[in-house]
């Protein structure tokens, strides 16, 4: 559960309900796209979130039906637990945000936090940090031909 209050600027939010989250993953089941769009058709090749330079195949992305919201200054936005979302600033923006940990999301949030803590203790960085630094050029069998 989280919320966001826009103080200045507009933000573009895209939400996908929990029942559609599986549609975001690439053919390996390990990567999600940087962004997802409504009403795309067919197999989608897109930059992945952890390595923006690498295109990956997202075979089910066209089936996802996100909801899109533009948040304006002085508006409060609530993000329910389990809803995948992306947000992009449309203007220079300032917001106040909070993430809440409670009984509705603790069953998956706590194991993820424990994994991140162990990763940082072992390597000094999170998996996302490592992916952004060292794996941007990584290839796998789902990369498109050049």
Q: List the pLDDT tens digit at each of the 146 positions of the chain.
A: 899 999 999 999 999 999 998 888 888 887 787 776 644 566 666 666 665 556 677 788 888 888 999 999 999 999 988 898 989 999 999 999 998 888 877 887 788 888 888 888 888 876 665 554 544 444 333 333 33
- Is-contact 134 54, C-beta < 8 A? no
CA nearest 47: which of 38, 59, 57, 39?
A: 57
Cross-strand bridge partners of residue 84:
16
By C-alpha distance, which of 91, 71, 66 is closest to 12? 71
Contact 45, 55 (CB under 8 A): yes
Q: Kindly tell me the burial class for residue 111, based on how many C-beta atoms sit within 10 Å of its own C-beta (0-12, 13-18, 19 or more).
A: exposed
Tokens representing residue 33 in the block: 């796209």
Spatial contact of 99 and 79, defined as CB atoms under 8 Å apart:
no
Report CA 31 to chain centroid distance, whole Å.
10
């Amino acid at each position: 559960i989280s919320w966001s209050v826009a103080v200045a600027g507009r933000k573009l939010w895209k939400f996908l309900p929990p029942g559609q989250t599986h549609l975001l993953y690439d053919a390996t089941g390990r990567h999600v796209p940087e962004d997802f769009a409504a009403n795309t058709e067919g197999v989608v090749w897109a930059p992945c979130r952890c390595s923006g330079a690498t295109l990956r195949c997202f075979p089910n992305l066209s089936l996802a039906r996100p909801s899109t919201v533009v948040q304006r200054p002085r508006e409060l936005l609530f993000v329910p637990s389990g809803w995948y979302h992306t947000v992009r600033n449309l203007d220079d923006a300032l917001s106040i945000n909070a993430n809440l940990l409670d009984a509705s999301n603790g069953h998956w949030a706590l194991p993820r936090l424990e994994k991140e803590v162990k990763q940082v203790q072992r390597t000094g960085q999170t998996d996302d940090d490592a992916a952004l630094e060292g794996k941007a050029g990584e290839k796998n069998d789902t990369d498109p031909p050049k």
